[in-house]
Amino acid sequence: MSKADDIFIKNCTEILGNGFSTENEKVRPHWEDGAPAYTIKTFGVVNRYDLSQEFPLLTLRATNWKAAIDEILWIWQKKSNNIHDLNSKIWDSWADENGSIGKAYGYQLGVPYPFKHGVMDQVDNVLWQLKNTPYSRRIMTNIYNFADLAEMGLEPCAYSMTFNVVGDKLNAILNQRSQDTLAANNWNVVQYSALLMMFAQVSGLKAGELIHVISDMHIYDRHIPMIEELMQREKFPAPKVRLNPEVKSFYDFTVEDFIVEEYQHGKPIGKVPVAI
């Protein structure tokens, strides 16, 4: 069975069994019908995924890995903040009439800074350090820019990455302030696992561990029946996932350069209501 399934079920069991309910509290999110979107939440979740063993794709249901990777390329490779550069509609609710999500996500990664080794943005700085100073303890990014929060369509949920090389393996810590377990958990894990694989390949390294730190991991009230159904489903072995070995530059990767084989998974769970 997939270790991603085991971790997902363990997290959901903890949230539903021991989490804190925000019912009757003052909450910001709401459903399309105007009702408050309450959650059951837990604080300080830390999950570890060893990419040298398997790629963490959920098998309890299918994760749309192509759309997930397309989004991470939109943010980290295109450094775009416009939904017209994205091949899905997941950001439509936070975009203005021109398609912009403001100074959020990709915009922040594209801002140049005067590093000691030259003026470059955060992504290029990571790539430069992995090539030139791979054992540095300062290889990191952060897109939670307080000066620009008021001009963001959505304040970043996954906001920082710290990269660390051990031997010939590239590891990373993903910090996330908030996560909708049903809609986003495996989506985010797949995205940043893919990012780690791409950075490792173009730096002559192997993908190691992704450590996912979530401050507020929650299940929305209307998602509980779906989560409970998923937890009882059959689990399948993790699929085989590899990259096109011919790609040498991070900026040359496309979704088609990810080869996913033997991906068995459960049936869809139906339309997932989204809290706004």
User: In terms of residue numbers, what domain contains 125?
Assistant: 3-59+120-142+157-261
Does residue 219 have a known ligand-binding role?
yes
Kindly state whether residue 273 falls inside one of the protein's structural domains. no
Kindly state whether residue 112 falls inside one of the protein's structural domains. no
For 84-140, the pLDDT digits (tens) are 999 999 899 899 999 999 999 999 999 999 999 999 999 999 999 999 999 999 999
Kindly state whether residue 75 falls inside one of the protein's structural domains. no
pLDDT at site 256? 98
Look at residue 276 and tell me whether its pLDDT is greater than 90.
no
Q: How far apart are CA 163 and CA 192, in angstroms?
A: 12
Kindly state whether residue 67 falls inside one of the protein's structural domains. no
Decide if 157 is catalytic.
yes
Kindly state whether residue 16 falls inside one of the protein's structural domains. yes
Does residue 121 have a known ligand-binding role?
no
Q: In this structure, what CATH number is given to the domain that contains residue 226?
A: 3.30.572.10
pLDDT at site 160? 98
Copy the structure tokens of residue 267. 């049936």
Query: Which residues, other chains included, contact 186 with Cβ-Cβ below 8 Å and sequence gap of 6+?
Result: 4, 8, 56, 57, 58, 63
For 31-85, the pLDDT digits (tens) are 999 999 999 999 999 999 999 999 999 999 999 999 999 999 999 999 999 999 9
Query: Which residues, other chains included, contact 265 with Cβ-Cβ below 8 Å and sequence gap of 6+?
Result: 57, 58, 59, 60, 61, 62, 63, 236
User: Could you tell me whether strands 118-120 and 39-50 are parallel, antiparallel, or unpaired per DSSP bridges?
Assistant: unpaired
Kindly state whether residue 24 falls inside one of the protein's structural domains. yes
Question: Judging by beta carbons within 10 Å of its beta carbon (0-12, 13-18, 19+), is residue 63 exposed, middle or buried?
Answer: buried
- Our count of domains for the chain comes to 1
- pLDDT band for position 217 (50/70/90)? very high
Cβ(142)–Cβ(191) below 8 Å = no
Phi then psi for 98, rounded to 5 degrees?
Answer: -95, 0
Kindly state whether residue 150 falls inside one of the protein's structural domains. no
Q: What Å distances lie between residue 145 and 28, 59, 103, 151, 152, CA to CA?
A: 21, 35, 9, 10, 10
pLDDT at site 274? 86
pLDDT at site 96? 96
For 152-191, the pLDDT digits (tens) are 999 999 999 999 999 999 999 999 999 999 999 999 999 9
Kindly state whether residue 252 falls inside one of the protein's structural domains. yes
Question: Which residue bears the tokens 């700085």?
Answer: 125
Does residue 178 have a known ligand-binding role?
yes
| Catalytic site residue from 16, 157, 260, 269 | 157
Does residue 179 have a known ligand-binding role?
yes
